[in-house]
Amino acid sequence: MARSGVHSIAVIAGDGIGREVMPAAIEVVEAVAGPFGFKVELTEYPWSCQTYTTTGHMMPVDAVDRLADHDAILLGAVGDPTVPDHVSLWGLLIPIRRAFDQYVNLRPAVLFPGVPSPLRDTGAGIDILIVRENTEGEYSELGGRAYAGTAHEFATQEAIFSRRGIERVVEYAATLAKSRSGRLTSATKSNGIIHTMTMWDEVAAEVVARHDGLEYRSMHVDALAARFISQPDEIDVVVGSNLFGDILSDVGAAIVGSLGMAPSANLNPERDQPSMFEPVHGSAPDIAGAGVANPIAQIWSAAMMLDHLGHPDAAEAILIAIRRVLAETTVRTPDLGGTARTAEVTAAILDAVISIDESETVS
Ligand SMILES: NC(=O)c1ccc[n+]([C@@H]2O[C@H](COP(=O)([O-])OP(=O)(O)OC[C@H]3O[C@@H](n4cnc5c(N)ncnc54)[C@H](O)[C@@H]3O)[C@@H](O)[C@H]2O)c1
């Protein structure tokens, strides 16, 4: 674990554009380490769909033990058209989230100056923070299929919602909301999903009642998704189940310009096990190898990692650099309407970050 000022980071670039955006994030982390007074020791793990093709497993059997020795995990993306998506997801990402009890998945959706939103009217701007439950809910292994290949074939899939699971994620979101505008929205669907979602609503209301000064509302997820489009400036912190949080964060990414602008942190808030930081996007096979992936989500995820490791000033410097490049230059990848390559955007962010004075960060 961490020696003073030295952080041991596990790096899993994964597949597709994960391998293109990870070097960008590492360059930026290494550039801020010296000026902000810390060191990083990086250990790369080449686990990916290629590992699956050659060994039959996405990662080795002792992978979790090896990752446990690090202070944090920086992940790119996994997924390849030759491997079924549920194999890559359940073979790497989900086991890591669960093994280290990373029960909060924090997903910001922020519209930066200079980035066009597909929405005509973004009101006062977009600055949404989605708190997604990350270890239970709809993503469960319980269920099965029967009568395969017959007219009677069916499948069942059990969602798991525990009181403890709901309480702890809503508690995290409520505390976070109080540190921002005080507005917290819970995503529900208790009109249709009458057991798990009614329990979600009840437990969430109990947790929220223990907090003064919160402006709390519970919204059906379909209406909330529409609100993301019609009045995104009204929304601040959103807490949702594993599935609802996942879907809402892709909506969030779309309205702030691109999946390439959406970072995430899989947090173990108690900090007794490593947390994992990764972009919301996947391996993007349609653009993999072309050198045009937007590296900002990965770089921003690395900034969230530095914040978690106790360097909010370094994290903020990276955010200021991203903001400057987008606001003051035309250097941007094609997903944002530009013509720059991944390496050019990375170079511009590096240039900006090394010129940021410590006094410019408020942390
Ligand atoms: N966390 C993860 O590792 C993760 C998350 C989502 C999907 N996946 C996997 O990724 C693979 C592809 O999935 P998908 O196509 O549904 O989602 P995706 O996020 O990979 O791509 C969706 C679209 O967004 C674009 N895009 C994504 N990130 C971008 C970036 N940084 N810069 C520019 N454009 C970007 C892609 O080109 C594509 O058109 C699948 O195998 C899927 O299972 C992995």
Q: How far is the CA of 251 from the centre of ligand 1 (A)?
A: 14
Task: State both tokens at 190.
Answer: 């208790």
User: DSSP states of 226-237 as a string?
Assistant: HHHHH-GGG--E
Q: Is the CB of 83 under 6 A from ligand 1?
A: no
CA–CA separation, 32 vs 313, rounded Å?
Answer: 10
Beta bridge pairs of residue 132? 105, 240
Residue 172 appears among annotated catalytic residues: no
Q: How far is the CA of 209 from the centre of ligand 1 (A)?
A: 38
**pTM, 2 dp:** 0.95
Buried b (16+ CB within 10 A) or exposed e, 331-340: bbbbbbebeb
Q: What pLDDT sits at residue 1?
A: 44
Q: What pLDDT sits at residue 60?
A: 95
Q: How far is the CA of 260 from the centre of ligand 1 (A)?
A: 9
The number of C-alpha atoms within 13 Å of 55 and in the hemisphere containing its C-beta is 13
Residue 180: other Cβ atoms inside 10 A: 12
Q: What pLDDT sits at residue 121?
A: 84
Q: Is the CB of 7 under 6 A from ligand 1?
A: no
Catalytic residue among 189, 216, 313, 335: 189
Domain residue limits, the chain: 1-103+264-363, 117-256
Residue 39 appears among annotated catalytic residues: no
Residue 189 appears among annotated catalytic residues: yes
Written out in words, the top-level CATH class of the domain with range 1-103+264-363 is alpha beta
For ligand 1, atom 3, the nearest C-alpha belongs to: 77
Residue 127 appears among annotated catalytic residues: no
For the chain, which ranges sit under pLDDT 50? 1
Q: Is the CB of 20 under 6 A from ligand 1?
A: no
What tens digit of pLDDT does each residue of 128-159 get?
Answer: 999 999 999 999 999 999 999 999 999 999 99
What tens digit of pLDDT does each residue of 193-202 get?
Answer: 999 999 999 9
Residue 217: other Cβ atoms inside 10 A: 11
* Ordered alpha helix ranges (H), the chain: 18-33, 49-55, 63-68, 85-88, 94-99, 163-178, 196-209, 221-230, 242-255, 296-308, 312-328, 342-354
Q: What pLDDT sits at residue 345?
A: 98
Residue 222 appears among annotated catalytic residues: yes
Catalytic residue among 139, 172, 216, 313: 139
Q: How far is the CA of 75 from the centre of ligand 1 (A)?
A: 14
List the CATH code of the domain at 117-256.
Answer: 3.40.718.10
Could you check whether 1-103+264-363 and 117-256 share the same CATH topology?
Answer: yes
Q: What pLDDT sits at residue 235?
A: 97
